[in-house]
Structure 1
Amino acid sequence: MFEKSYRDRLNADLARWEADGVIAPAAAASIRNALPQLAPGINIAVVVGIVGGLLIAAAFLAFVAAHWTEIARLARFAILLAGMVATYALGAWFAASGRNVLADLCASVGAIIFGAGIALVGQMYHLGEDFAGGMLLWSIGAFAAAFLTASRGALAVSLVAASIWTCMRTYDAPDVLHLPFVAVWLIAAGLAFAWNSRVAAHLVAVAVLPWWIATSLRFEFDGSQPSFVLANGAALLFGAGLAIAAMPSPRAMRLGSVLSIYGAFALAAVAALEVTTVDDIFRVRSSTMSGQPLWAILCGVAGVILTLVSATLTRRPGDILSACAIALVLLAAPLWPVSTAGEPWLAYAVLLCAMLCLVVSGVLDDVRPRIVAGWLGIAGVIAGITWAVKGSLLGRSAFLAAAGIVAVVFATVLNRALPRAER
């Protein structure tokens, strides 16, 4: 929740309650005085200053690039080193004067110049062509800058470099699971937790997706579908986020809520992907078997267990339905038929039920992103069922009509069972 929008809504509610006589004016004033002061935001002057700084930096880089071959090797290295020193010195001055946005920008630019320095040294002295190793070194340097300066931009640079590193290592050694990135990601997640920053939590949540995608594509199991491996990753991200958010710490709640949102959207995307990739709309593997590596299955099971742990701690019914959604998406993999005869109607029904559970869980817990993810998942699954290549369109229309009737009947029963205040 953005702090400024929350303050605006709270002030509007306090004014309305005060006008309606719900609370006394003194109580409303006490609530307003108890709130801490908002951090200064980005104003027009800061925006213009950022643009001006970027233009000057671009002009400097263009000038250096135009005379690159005429500059001696040591002079090239000295230019980049001076650029880093000047950038971080300017960032320290901005931080001392309270201009945190500009200080963060300087730390980010310094991390980018550090990566350029690594590339330059490798080019000038013809070092070993280990591009992935250079990316790891860049990620470590940018992470050190982020740790020392609390720069969200430097953390973003570090995670981008680390993602490129793990994708390249996965491509170079497809028969080995690249676990070092997991350790790097956990360290970054710990830093986001320590900062109590929602921006850093978003960066960490996004950074885990390339590793899962690259890992799911690297295996060449007979009949293994990447969508099923991705489903286990989405389950783990969703369940771990809910379990972390259930902890009493506000830091854990902020980090876990962001992770669970990305996990919900990933689960919805995977549900649609299972239909579109397994049912011949897009052929990813030549076989139709649904084999999965054991470690991926264990990750999916852990996601379900962590969601149930969250439900136990929070006593929220929405978490139970989230566990059902995760379990149903994972159940679709073994339900898919091994042979090509017939259509996986049961798997279709399971995926639709999973996305319905995701929507209802978001409604019960009042989590709008989860509701949106569930609706997107329903739309994706229905689109995949409707436009699948094999099978008759008449049979699919009959299946969708039957599913719609069941949903309407379920809604009617639920409406009669719930108290009027909860409908």
Structure 2
Amino acid sequence: MAGYATRVKADIARWREAGLIDPATAEALTRDVAANERASLSFGSILAMMAALLFGAAILIFVAANWEAIPRLARVVALFAVIAAGYVGGAVMKTRDHAAIGEALWIVAAAAFGGSIALIGQIYHLSGDEASALVTWCAGAALAAVALRSNPLTVAAVGIADAWLFLKGFDFFGRAEFLHFFIVMAIVLFAVSFWTRSQASRHLIILSVLFYLVLLVGDYDTLRIAVPLLIGSALLFAAAVFAGDPIDRILQLGGRLPLHALLGFLTGIAMIQFELADESTYASGFAVASIVALSGIVAAIMLAGRESRGLRWLAYAGFAFELAIIYSVTLQSMLDTAGFFLAAALLLGILALVIIRVEKRMRAAAHTGAAA
């Protein structure tokens, strides 16, 4: 699929051939697009990152073997040598215009840091648990990301924080309290992502917060979590649609805030529907929640679907999920299922007719204004 810069250059050429812009303007626009085009990852860069991840995994597995045949001091010195070589070597490669290799070496160093935490704890029988080790590893990766202003290291720090959230949330560490500390980690890493210019980290953090809220349902009443998430996501979606440019300049999400807001809305309404699905099939609560879900999906497509293919696909997936859950909950009565689908079809059909007529009038008014 062609990238943004490629499509813009094709549009510039088409505008020039159509006489909409003169050759000098077309050349200036092409130069500006080329100057601001982000360099894509080459195949070699991707292989370098994959090699770094594999090498880091090898270090961690080697540490897990506990190096019984190697003296303690030699083990510690070897790990710290790998850390130093990774960070220093990566910096040298970055200065020599080998950015991908430099970032890969930094990933290796961050993995070696995590391995050193486990090894030193094993050797010297230090107090603490795996959860604390992950937090320390995350902090180390985040500090390295700040010092080196590294996008991949920021993503790695977020990934380590997500690993802590997953393991802690599913009781791998035998937690007695809930993992509210993740919110602190998310806020700090979100702030770090602006310094390191890591848009990918911000997207990952938002998805991680949604996962955190899903885990929160296990300890709290579902509606206490789902209803605020639903309302907050709807308000955030409205703000992203009607005041998108100022908000995106602040959050720097590449215009994808509506996509995250829609995902939050669908997550919240799914929580509510699962909670109400245990009630009687004839209870009105589930029906109301389903109508809200379908209406929200339609509104999302109407307001932001034209500009975002990803949002459209998410809305279609949400619509399919709604059909599946409505059918499964009302399976006891096929007549109720058919009646609900018929009412929903009529409602969506009426909305479609209204939208089509409004869009035709808007296009006609635009053409009239252009002709005048």
Partner secondary structure for residue 191 of structure 1: helix
TM-superposed deviation, 1:77: 1.2
What does residue 89 of structure 2 align with?
90
Residue 353 (1) aligns with residue 292 (2): no
What does residue 114 of structure 2 align with?
115
Q: Deviations over 1:64-84 (max 9, x none)?
A: 777821011221111111111
TM-superposed deviation, 1:49: 4.5
What does residue 209 of structure 1 align with?
210
CA distance in 1, matches of 2:158, 2:313: 27
Q: Deviations over 1:371-415 (max 9, x none)?
A: 222222221111111122663022111111121012212322333
What does residue 30 of structure 2 align with?
32
What does residue 317 of structure 1 align with?
none
| Number of residue pairs matched by the alignment | 357
Question: After alignment, is 244-253 or 400-409 more displaced?
Answer: 244-253
How does 1:56-205 map onto structure 2 within 5 Å?
68-166=67-165, 171=171, 178-205=179-206
Question: After alignment, is 76-85 or 44-53 more displaced?
Answer: 44-53
Q: Which amino acid aligns with 2:10?
A: A
Q: Which runs of 5+ in 2 are unaligned?
A: 365-372
Partner secondary structure for residue 109 of structure 1: helix
User: Using CA pairs below 8 Å that are at least 6 residues apart, which structure has the higher relative contact order?
Assistant: 1
TM-superposed deviation, 1:195: 3.8
323, 333, 336: which one pairs with 1:395? 336
Whether the 8 Å contact between 1:237 and 1:259 is mirrored in structure 2 is no
CA distance in 1, matches of 2:62, 2:229: 46
What does residue 222 of structure 2 align with?
225
CA distance in 2, matches of 1:152, 1:127: 32
What does residue 42 of structure 1 align with?
41
Q: Which amino acid aligns with 1:165?
A: W
TM-superposed deviation, 1:96: 0.5
Question: After alignment, is 270-279 or 181-190 more displaced?
Answer: 270-279
What does residue 367 of structure 2 align with?
none
324, 346, 360: which one pairs with 1:405? 346
Q: 1:202 to 1:103 in 2, by over 3 A?
A: farther
Q: Percent same amino acid at aligned positions?
A: 25
Q: 1:63 to 1:275 in 2, by over 3 A?
A: closer
CA distance in 2, matches of 1:409, 1:113: 61
How does 1:208-357 map onto structure 2 within 5 Å?
208-219=209-220, 224-225=221-222, 229-230=225-226, 232-233=228-229, 235-236=231-232, 239-240=235-236, 243=239, 246=244, 248=246, 251-252=249-250, 254-255=252-253, 257-276=255-274, 278-280=276-278, 342=283, 344-357=286-299
CA distance in 2, matches of 1:82, 1:264: 47
Q: Which amino acid aligns with 1:356?
A: V
TM-superposed deviation, 1:165: 3.4
Q: 1:66 to 1:272 in 2, by over 3 A?
A: closer
TM-superposed deviation, 1:8: 0.6
Question: After alignment, is 62-71 or 352-361 more displaced?
Answer: 62-71
Q: Deviations over 1:73-113 (max 9, x none)?
A: 22111111111111112111111112222222222221111
Q: Which amino acid aligns with 1:84?
A: I
CA distance in 1, matches of 2:107, 2:234: 30
13, 29, 32: which one pairs with 2:11? 13
Q: Tell me the TM-score normalised to structure 2 length.
A: 0.82
CA distance in 2, matches of 1:195, 1:150: 5
CA distance in 2, matches of 1:166, 1:217: 14
304, 317, 335: which one pairs with 1:376? 317
TM-superposed deviation, 1:173: 5.5
Q: Which amino acid aligns with 2:9?
A: N
TM-superposed deviation, 1:148: 1.2
Question: After alignment, is 156-165 or 51-60 more displaced?
Answer: 51-60
Q: 1:278 to 1:108 in 2, by over 3 A?
A: farther
TM-superposed deviation, 1:243: 4.8
Q: Which amino acid aligns with 1:261?
A: L
Whether the 8 Å contact between 1:238 and 1:260 is mirrored in structure 2 is no
CA distance in 2, matches of 1:66, 1:130: 18
CA distance in 1, matches of 2:163, 2:59: 27
CA distance in 2, matches of 1:64, 1:197: 30
Q: Deviations over 1:106-139 (max 9, x none)?
A: 2222111111111111111222242211111111
CA distance in 1, matches of 2:61, 2:167: 29
Q: 1:193 to 1:258 in 2, by over 3 A?
A: farther
Whether the 8 Å contact between 1:189 and 1:204 is mirrored in structure 2 is yes
Partner secondary structure for residue 253 of structure 2: helix
Q: Which amino acid aligns with 1:189?
A: F
Q: Which amino acid aligns with 2:102?
A: A
Q: Which runs of 5+ in 1 are unaligned?
A: 281-287, 289-338
